[in-house]
Amino acid sequence: MTLQKRPGRGASNATPAGFMPTRGTARRSFFVPSPSQIAERGFVAVDFETANRMGGVSACQLAMVKVLDGQIIDRLNTLIRPPKGWDSFEFTYLHGISAADVADAPDWSNIADAVSHFVGGATVYAHNAAFDSRVWRQLDEYFGTTTLPSPFFCSYRTAQRLIPGLPNYKLPTVLHACAPDYQLNHHRADSDAEACALIVCALQRRAQAS
C-alpha cells in the first residue's frame, strides 16, 4: 500500500516550544501477550523511524506488515514529513532518510486514516514496543488523531520470555534466532517491520509447541 499526500485536516500549529509530548509508557508486563493472545491468527507488525531525539512528532517513516496464519498478506510503507520545528534530521546516518527525502511526503494527519484502516483492530507488535507506542501516542497527541491501537505487544519482551539465554534481545539477534535467512536492512522501517513479523511468527510456533 502506498499513501498519497492530501490537504491537511487541522493539524496543530504547535512548535517544540509550545507542545510537550508525554513521556510515560505502560509497564513492561503490558507489552507481553498472554498465551491466548499470542495464539491469535492475525496481527500487524510495525516500525517507526524518527528524524531526531525530540520525540515521536519527528517520525519520518512508518512501515506495517499484516500477517494471517503465519503468512504476510499486506504491507504499508510510507515516509512521513515531520512538522516544522521537529524536522532536524540527526539520525540520517542510521536510516538514510534526509529532509529532502520527506519534503513531499505526507504528514501524520494525511495518513492517520489509512494507518487506522490498515490496522483494522488487529493486535499490534513492535520490537521495543515502548518506543514505537510512544512515537504513535505522541503523533496522536500533536495532530489530534486517535489511532493508537490496543493491545500493543512487544516482540522484544516476548522473546525474552520464550527464548531465554540469548546474548541480548536486539532485533538482529532475535531475528537470527528466529529467521536466520532473512537479510535485514536495519533501521529501515519496512525491513524492521518485516523482521518483527517473522519473529512473532516464530514466537507463535514456540508458544504452540510448549
pLDDT digits (tens, 9 = 90+) for 12-52: 444 555 566 665 544 444 689 999 999 999 999 999 999 99
Which CATH class, in words, describes the domain spanning 31-209?
alpha beta
Q: Which residues of 115-126 are buried (b: 16+ CB within 10 A; e: fewer)?
A: beebbeebbbbb
| Helices and strands per DSSP (H, E), number in the chain | 8, 5
Q: Which amino acid is at 126?
A: A
Please tell me the pTM assigned to this model.
Answer: 0.86
Position 7 scores a pLDDT of: 38
Closest CA to 200 of 125, 128, 149, 150: 125
Position 26 scores a pLDDT of: 46
Sheet holding 59-68: strands in order across? 71-79, 59-68, 42-50, 123-126, 152-154
pLDDT digits (tens, 9 = 90+) for 166-191: 999 999 999 999 999 999 999 999 99
Helix, strand, coil % (nearest 5) of the chain? 40, 15, 45
pLDDT digits (tens, 9 = 90+) for 144-154: 999 999 999 99
Q: Which residue has the higher pLDDT, 16 or 209?
A: 209
